[in-house]
Structure 1
């Protein structure tokens, strides 16, 4: 059996941050510039992705405190987030194929609201991976840190040699390769399909 790990943003779903920021501004009453500069540019999102605010409530409280805007509900956060997401049909189909070949899991750098809202944001993906959803806020470490991949292998009990990983970030791919995982830099569905086929064939 093999383990298949898939990044989420820009690998399974296209993601455009600029499409969610105006909605955040409308909901919070804070300008897009202030939101982007006080939260994202100041490093708070990265800290959240590393697990500093491990629940959606803690994240949303801190987001309101730092940005000075109205506190968002999780539903509002998820609705705004969904505006930035577009399913990549071929990639989701690849996850379905992988599920017939071994264990499949997400492995995504994201904060707690994403982890808690994912069944609503991407029910199609959740139906394929079940509870196998590794989000960096829960792992306590972000890709490309090799520790993130080591924790993923420990979680599922697989060796690096029996693990496939796909991500649009070359930096994350190199982090996975550094511990021996078969990692693919996602740029197209055709490339993903070919890489998965080569991985599945390696022991035949």
Structure 2
């Protein structure tokens, strides 16, 4: 089979994400408690609203700042996300040598598009303009429409696209949309998948 596009998840594939580390980093940077950050970001539903596209990046940061009584800019937010996102070097090394076009689909807010070059710099500029978030459309993995929308934008055919994610629910959603899809959690797993699909 011919694979013309490799579609990638972020958290759990490109990086290992530790939410507690992000909360702690943001708390220290803003001189507030971790409990206050947890409440402002997650318990309030603010993070979910950003991920769904209900709030753009600027509004999200403004509301986060209001909840914490601090000014929160994109640089501070990105630094906290970076501190909590540990690159999977074995995965990244394999991807950096591939010739097949790549793109990203992640259930995250719009700020992730700006943050990702900081998280996995070795994959840029190959991924420039090819990072798609749930906030873009309000569609989330594993909804099949989330996948077909990205492929339509890229002019890619589902039958010639391979999607990898650490969550099997998302793999199922991609398969329902007609994509090839496999579960990948580390470099060894990615290597096996790339070999199976003859992606060199």
Q: Which runs of at least 4 in structure 1 moved beyond 4 Å after TM superposition?
A: none
Match of 1:28 among 27, 30, 33: 30
CA distance in 2, matches of 1:2, 1:27: 43
Contact 2:164 2:182 in 1 (8 A): yes
CA distance in 1, matches of 2:49, 2:179: 26
Residue by residue over 1:90-131, the C-alpha shift from the partner in whole angstroms, topping out at 9 and shown as x without a partner, is: 211232244x1x321111111122222322333222233222
Shift in Å, 1:148: 0.8
Contact 1:118 1:126 in 2 (8 A): no
Could you say what secondary structure the match of 2:198 adopts?
Answer: helix
Residue by residue over 1:64-99, the C-alpha shift from the partner in whole angstroms, topping out at 9 and shown as x without a partner, is: 23x33312111111111111122111211232244x
TM-score, normalised on structure 1? 0.87
CA distance in 1, matches of 2:184, 2:12: 9
Q: Which structure 1 segments of 5+ residues have no match?
A: none
Aligned length: 197
Match of 1:149 in 2: 147
Task: Find out whether 1:44 has 2:70 as its counterpart.
Answer: no
Match of 2:110 among 103, 112, 121: 112
User: CA 1:93 to 1:128, structure 2 compared with 1: closer, same or farther past 3 Å?
Assistant: farther
Match of 1:177 in 2: 175
Match of 1:77 in 2: 77
User: CA 1:134 to 1:74, structure 2 compared with 1: closer, same or farther past 3 Å?
Assistant: same
Q: Which structure 2 segments of 5+ residues have no match?
A: none
